[in-house]
Amino acid sequence: MQQITNGGWDQRITIFRADEAEAGEQVDAFAIVTHKYVVFVDTLATPALARQMVEAMRPYLADRQPLVINTHADYDHCWGNAVFATDGELPAPIYGHAYAAKRLTSDEDKHYLSDQQQKDPRFAEVRLVPPTNTIDKQTAIDCGDLQLALIPTPGHCPDHIAIWIPNIRHLFTGDAAESPFPYVANAATLPSLIHSLEVLAGLNAAIALPCHGETTDPQLLTCNLNYFEAVKTSCLQSIENGSLPDDWINAKNIADIVGMSYEEALAISQADPEQTPSMYRDFHETAIKATITLLLRSQNAP
C-alpha cells in the first residue's frame, strides 16, 4: 500500500492507495485529521490494509478519537472494518448507510465472502462488520474544525454515501464518480446514478477525491455526466435510425453498433487510455445496454 504525496489537497487529508496488481484492483481510502477525530473514509479490502492506515495515523490518534465512514458495502471499501469493531484493535463508531448494514449482514454477502476466502488467502482474516451508526438521509458530523456532510448518493449501489466538507470544498465521491466513468449495473440504477452525479456536481467542489481513478480534479463530475449524456445521444440515434439489431442485448460489439467506441468514451472522459484498466471496456458496454433498455422502456411507456 502507498501513501500518496500531497498533490494540492487540504493538509489534513491523507490518501492511501491499495494496489493489488495481481487482482487487477486499485482503490483509495482516506484519513482526515480533525480537531476531534481521525476520520477514516473506508477501510479497504482487508484488515491487514486497514491496519496499515491505522499505524500511519498512530501519532494523531494519541489525542483524538477514531471515527470510520463506509462509503458503501462493496468489499474493496469495507472489508477492513474488523479492525474498528468493538473487539477489534481500534474500536470506533462506523458510519454507513442503513442499507450497507443490511448488505453486510445478508446471506448473499456471507456467501460471497466465504467464496472469496476459498479463492484468495488474503481474505482469510476478513469479518463482515456492519456500520454501527447508520443513516438514511443527509447527516452532519461535527469534527470541530471541519464539518462533514454525509450525503446519500445511490446509483452505483443503493447504500452509497458521499462526503462533503463545505468549508474547504472537498468532496469524497466514493464510487458515485470515478475516472474514467462509474459502473452502472443496469437500467434500474442508471437514473439514480445520474441524479447523484448532478447533486455532487452542484456542490461546486474545489477538490474531488474518488476511490478509483487517481484524480482530484472536480471536472470529474462534469466528465462523468458528459459521458452518460454522450452514451444516451448515441443510443437514441441508433434507435431512431433503426440500426439496432433485434438481439442487441446479446451483441458483443454494442459500442460499434451505437457508434460510440471505447476510445471515444475515454476521450470524452478525459482519461488516458494507457493508464485505464481494461475492465472499463466492459463498464462501457454495460452502460450502453442499460441506456438502451431505459430508452426503449420510456418509448414503450403509455
Which of 78, 288 has the CB closer to Zn ion?
Answer: 78
Which region holds residue 259: left if phi is over 0, alpha if psi is between -120 and 50, else beta? left
Residue 74 CB, nearest approach to Zn ion (Å):
5
Nearer to Zn ion, 159 or 175 (CB): 175
Least Å from the CB of residue 76 to Zn ion: 5
Order the strands of the 25-33 sheet from edge to edge.
Answer: 2-4, 13-20, 25-33, 37-41, 65-69, 94-97, 133-135
| Minimum distance of Zn ion from residue 197's CB (angstroms) | 16
Cis peptide before 218 (omega within 30 of 0): no
Nearer to Zn ion, 12 or 160 (CB): 160
Would you state the cell numbers that stand for residue 58, as one nine-digit string? 498512530
Number of neighbours of residue 11 by Cβ within 10 angstroms: 7
In the complex, what is the shortest distance from the CB of residue 63 to Zn ion, in angstroms, rounded to a whole number?
Answer: 32
- The nearer residue to Zn ion, 88 or 210, going by C-beta atoms, is 210
In the complex, residue closest to Zn ion by CB: 175
Residues 42-101 that bind Zn ion (CB under 5 A): 74, 76
- Build a one-symbol-per-residue string for 157-196: x at contacts with Zn ion by CB under 5 A, - elsewhere: ------------------x---------------------
DSSP-derived secondary structure for 13-78: EEEEEEEETTTTEEEEEEEEE-SSEEEEE--BSSHHHHHHHHHHHHHHHTTSEEEEE-S--SHHHH
Q: How far is the CB of 183 from Zn ion (least distance, A)?
A: 8
In whole angstroms, the minimum distance from the beta carbon of 297 to Zn ion comes to 28
Could you list the beta-strand ranges (E) of 182-261. 207-210
Cβ at position 77, least distance to Zn ion in Å? 6
Beta carbon nearer to Zn ion, 71 or 134: 71
Binding mask 194-233 for Zn ion (x = CB under 5 A): ----------------------------------------
Select 88 or 213, whichever has its Cβ closest to Zn ion: 213
Compute the distance between CA of residue 248 and CA of residue 294 in angstroms, rounded to an integer.
14
Nearer to Zn ion, 74 or 258 (CB): 74
List the one residue out of 91, 78, 90 whose CA is nearest residue 41. 78
Ramachandran bin of 174, using left for φ above 0, alpha for ψ from -120 to 50, beta for the remaining angles: left
Site for Zn ion, rule CB under 5 A: 74, 76, 175
